[in-house]
C-alpha cells in the first residue's frame, strides 16, 4: 500500500508541475563565451535572480548539464527557450550567435515540448507525441539522426527514436527512455568510456602504422541489450557516465569509473550496465525517487527518502567508492535534485538547499556569504518558498519556484536583463531579441597529444587561443585516470589519480583556488552545517 501511495503522490506532483509551472530564477556565471576558459570574470549573479524575458511565464521544466554552458527552459504551453553559449548551434536558432536572454526556439513551434536534456554542445528535446528532436554538435552522432556527416545542426532535426518518454545528455552522448517493449533505454553518441552501455568503447587505430586511437561514433540510437528485460523509468547522465533506475527500484551505472562515481567499490570502467549492490533487497528505490549525476559523482534517494551519494563529493578528502547516506539531509523530503560541475541543488519541503565547490555564485548564497560550502546549506533568500524544479550547469544553477503564498517576495529579487546589441521587444513569444554576438573560440580546451584522447582532443575543428580553466578540464573527462588503467580497465582504488596532482591537459583536477578548502571558510550568517527544519 505504501508503494502505491508513493506512486500516486509522485504522479500528482508531476501533474502539478506540468499544469502550474512557476517563476524561473537563475544564479551563476553569465559570461557564456568565456566560462571555464578565463578567470576573474565579471557578470556573476550570486543570488537567485529573475530573468526579464521570463517574468510572468509559467516555466515547468529546466535542463542543463555538468558540462553545459547553455540552458533550456520549457513553459506549460510547450514552448522551448534556450540561451547561453552557441558556438556549435546548441541553442537551435539556426545560427551560432550567443543569446544572453532566453529566446523561443522557433523551429519547435509546431511541437509541444515536455522534456529536454543538454550536453556539452548539443540539446535534445521530447515532444508530447513521443518524438524527439535535437540540435547542436553532432560529430560523435550524439543527436541520434543516424548520421554524423553534418557535424553541426543549427536547427532542430528528428532523432531516430519513437515513443520517447524522457531524455538525458552526457557531454557527448544522449540517452532516451522509450515505451517500446524490450527497448526502454536507447543510447547514441561517443562510446569512449563505455557510457553507451553496449559492451564496447568502439576504439580503433587511426592508421595501421599509428598508435593514435579514436572512438567510432554511434549516430544511430541503439537499445541496450543487457537491459532488454527491464523497464528503465529514471535516468541521469554525468559527463561520461550514466545512472539509471528500473521500475523495481534497482539502480544501474556504467561508463567512466574514475573517483568511484559508478558506486561499485572500484574505479573500473563499465561498458555495460552493472547493478549497484547497495540498492537491492530491502533498500530499493521508491517510485518517487530522485536520481542525479554530476561530472564526477552520482546520487539518488532510497528508502525513507534518504539521499545517497558516491564518487568525488568534495575537492578534499577521500572519494566515496560506494553509495553512502548523506546524513546532513536525513529527514528531509527531497522532491528534486540536480548536480553540476562540483555543486548540487535540492528542492526539499519548503526550502532550497545547495552545496559544493563554486566560483561563480552558482550556489546562490548572496554577495555577503561564502561562495562554496562543503555541507548542505539553505539558500536563505528562498526559505519558505516551494521549489518545483532545479537544474545545474557547468557554472550556473536554475530554480523554478511557485508564485503562490509568497506575497511580494519575488518583487524583492533582482532582475537580469541580459545583453543585446540592439534593444528589441523582450516578449519571449516574439523571438525578436537581437543578442550580442559571441567571441570566436573553440568550445573545448587545447588539443591533447595523447593517443587515448583523440576523440576528445579533436572535438573542435576551430583552433582556440583560450587556455581552459582548471574546472573545465576536470569536467570534460579525466584522461590521466583513463591512461593509468590497463587493458582490463583496472585503476587504483585510492581515488588519488594523476588528475588531482598535475594541472595539465584535459584531465586536470581541482584548480589552485580549491586549495583553500571551502570548509575553512567561516560562515558569516551562522547557518552553516546541517540545514534545520523550521
DSSP 392: E
Q: 475 in helix, strand or coil?
A: helix
Q: For residue range 328-381, what is the model confidence (pLDDT) as tens digits?
A: 999 999 999 999 989 999 999 999 999 999 989 999 999 999 999 999 999 999
Nearest to 355 by CA among 368, 367, 331, 372: 372
Q: Is residue 198 over pLDDT 70?
A: yes
Q: What is the largest CA-CA distance in the chain?
A: 70
Q: What is the pLDDT of residues 492-519, one digit of tens each?
A: 444 444 333 433 334 334 444 444 444 4
Higher pLDDT, 445 or 116: 116
Residue 331: per-residue pLDDT: 94
pLDDT mean over 271-283: 96
- The pLDDT tens digits of the residues spanning 284-301 come to 999 999 999 999 999 999
How many angstroms separate the CA atoms of 518 and 309, rounded? 19
Q: Is the whole-model pTM more than 0.95?
A: no
- For 324, list phi and psi in degrees, rounded to 5: -130, 145
Residues counted in the chain: 534
Is the Cα dihedral 468, 138, 485, 272 positive or negative?
positive
Phi, psi of 15 (to 5 degrees): -65, -40
Q: Tell me how far apart the alpha carbons of residues 324 and 278 are, in angstroms, rounded to a whole number.
A: 9
3-state SS assignment for residue 473 = helix
What's CA 79's distance to the chain center, in Å? 21
Give the pLDDT confidence score for residue 437 in this predicted structure.
43
From the DSSP assignment, how many helices (H) and strands (E) are in the chain?
5, 33
Residue 181 contacts by C-beta under 8 Å, 6 or more apart in sequence? none
Question: Hunting for cell 546541517 — which residue is that?
Answer: 530
Closest by CA to 10, choosing from 294, 305, 346, 235, is 305
Checking phi first, is residue 338 left (phi over 0); if not, alpha (psi -120 to 50) or beta?
beta
Least confident of 144-158, 375-389, 397-411, 496-510: 496-510
Tell me the average pLDDT across 141-165.
Answer: 97
Q: What's the rounded mean pLDDT across residues 189-216?
A: 90
Alpha-carbon distances of 109 from 47, 77, 151, 156, 273, rounded to whole Å = 32, 10, 24, 11, 37
**Element of type H or E holding 61:** strand 59-63
What values do phi and psi take at 72, rounded to 5?
-130, 135
- Beginning with the edge strand found earlier in the chain, give each strand of the sheet holding 297-301 in spatial order: 291-293, 297-301, 307-311, 320-325
Three-class secondary structure of residue 185 per DSSP: strand
pLDDT band of 19, cuts 50, 70, 90: low
Cβ–Cβ under 8 Å, residues 313 and 320? yes
> CA 201 → CA 191, 218, 302, distances in Å?
5, 10, 31
| Residue 88, pLDDT score | 97
Q: What is residue 285's predicted lDDT score, i.e. its pLDDT?
A: 97
Burial 187-215 (b: 16+ CB within 10 A, else e): bbbbbbbbbbbbeebbeeeeeeeeeebbb
Other C-beta atoms closer than 10 Å to the C-beta of 289 total: 21
Higher pLDDT pick, 212 / 276: 276
Three-state SS letters, 415-429: EECCCEEECCCCCCC
Give mean pLDDT, residues 396-421.
90
Instruction: State yes or no: pLDDT of 29 exceeds 80.
Output: yes
The confidence band for 212, taking pLDDT boundaries of 50, 70 and 90, is confident
Confidence check: pLDDT of 199 > 80: yes
Q: Is the pLDDT of residue 487 over 80?
A: no
**Higher-scoring residue by pLDDT: 262, 461:** 262
| Residue-averaged pLDDT of the chain | 82
Q: Which of 33, 44, 71, 55 is nearest to 392 (CA)?
A: 71
Q: Is the pLDDT of residue 305 over 60?
A: yes
The pLDDT score that the predictor gives to residue 511 is 44
Amino acid at each position: 500500500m505504501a508503494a502505491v501511495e508513493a506512486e500516486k503522490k509522485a504522479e500528482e506532483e508531476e501533474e502539478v508541475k506540468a499544469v502550474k509551472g512557476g517563476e524561473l530564477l537563475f544564479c551563476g556565471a553569465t559570461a557564456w563565451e568565456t566560462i571555464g576558459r578565463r578567470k576573474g570574470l565579471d557578470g556573476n549573479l550570486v543570488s537567485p535572480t529573475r530573468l526579464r524575458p521570463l517574468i510572468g511565464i509559467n516555466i515547468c521544466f529546466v535542463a542543463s548539464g555538468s558540462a553545459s554552458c547553455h540552458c533550456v527552459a520549457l513553459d506549460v504551453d510547450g514552448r522551448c527557450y534556450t540561451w547561453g553559449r552557441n558556438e556549435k548551434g546548441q541553442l537551435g536558432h539556426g545560427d551560432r550567435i550567443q543569446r544572453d536572454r532566453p529566446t523561443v526556439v522557433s523551429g519547435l513551434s509546431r511541437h509541444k515540448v515536455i522534456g529536454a536534456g543538454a550536453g556539452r554542445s548539443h540539446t535534445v528535446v521530447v515532444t508530447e507525441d513521443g518524438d524527439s528532436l535535437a540540435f547542436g554538435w553532432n560529430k560523435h552522432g550524439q543527436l541520434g539522426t543516424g548520421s554524423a556527416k553534418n557535424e553541426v545542426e543549427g536547427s532542430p532535426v528528428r532523432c531516430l527514436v519513437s515513443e520517447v518518454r524522457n531524455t538525458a545528455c552526457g557531454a557527448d552522448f544522449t540517452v532516451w527512455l522509450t515505451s517500446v517493449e524490450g527497448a526502454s533505454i536507447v543510447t547514441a553518441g561517443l562510446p569512449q568510456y563505455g557510457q553507451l552501455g553496449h559492451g564496447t568503447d568502439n576504439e580503433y587505430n587511426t592508421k595501421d602504422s599509428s598508435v593514435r586511437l579514436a572512438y567510432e561514433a554511434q549516430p544511430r540510437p541503439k537499445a541496450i541489450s543487457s537491459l532488454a528485460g527491464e523497464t528503465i523509468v529514471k535516468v541521469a547522465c554525468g559527463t561520461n557516465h550514466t545512472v539509471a533506475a528500473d521500475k523495481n527500484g534497482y539502480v544501474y551505472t556504467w561508463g567512466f569509473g574514475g573517483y568511484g562515481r559508478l558506486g561499485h567499490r572500484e574505479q573500473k570502467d563499465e561498458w555495460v550496465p552493472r547493478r549497484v549492490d547497495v540498492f537491492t533487497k530491502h533498500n530499493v528505490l521508491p517510485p518517487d525517487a530522485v536520481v542525479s549525476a554530476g561530472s564526477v559523482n552520482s546520487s539518488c534517494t532510497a528508502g525513507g527518502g534518504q539521499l545517497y551519494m558516491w564518487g568525488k563529493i568534495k575537492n578534499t578528502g577521500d572519494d566515496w567508492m560506494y553509495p553512502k547516506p548523506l546524513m546532513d539531509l536525513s529527514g528531509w523530503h527531497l522532491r528534486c535534485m540536480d548536480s553540476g560541475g562540483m555543486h548540487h541543488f535540492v528542492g526539499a519541503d519548503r526550502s532550497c538547499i545547495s552545496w559544493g565547490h563554486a566560483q561563480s555564485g552558482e550556489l546562490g548564497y548572496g554577495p555577503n556569504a561564502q561562495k562554496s560550502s562543503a555541507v548542505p546549506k539553505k539558500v536563505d533568500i528562498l526559505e519558505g518558498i516551494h521549489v518545483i524544479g532545479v537544474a545545474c550547469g557547468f557554472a550556473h544553477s536554475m530554480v523554478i519556484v511557485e508564485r503562490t503564498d509568497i506575497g511580494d517576495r519575488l518583487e524583492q529579487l533582482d532582475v537580469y536583463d541580459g545583453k543585446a546589441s540592439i534593444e528589441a521587444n523582450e516578449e519571449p513569444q516574439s523571438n525578436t531579441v537581437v543578442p550580442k554576438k559571441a567571441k570566436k573560440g573553440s568550445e573545448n580546451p587545447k588539443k591533447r597529444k595523447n593517443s587515448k584522447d583523440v576523440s576528445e582532443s579533436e572535438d573542435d575543428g576551430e583552433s582556440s587561443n583560450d587556455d581552459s580553466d582548471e574546472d573545465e578540464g576536470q569536467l570534460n573527462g579525466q584522461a590521466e585516470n583513463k591512461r593509468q588503467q590497463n587493458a582490463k580497465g583496472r585503476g587504483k582504488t585510492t581515488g588519488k589519480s594523476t588528475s588531482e596532482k598535475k594541472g595539465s591537459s584535459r584531465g586536470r583536477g581541482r584548480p589552485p583556488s580549491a586549495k583553500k578548502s571551502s570548509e575553512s571558510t567561516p560562515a558569516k550568517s551562522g547557518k552553516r552545517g546541517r540545514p534545520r527544519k523550521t
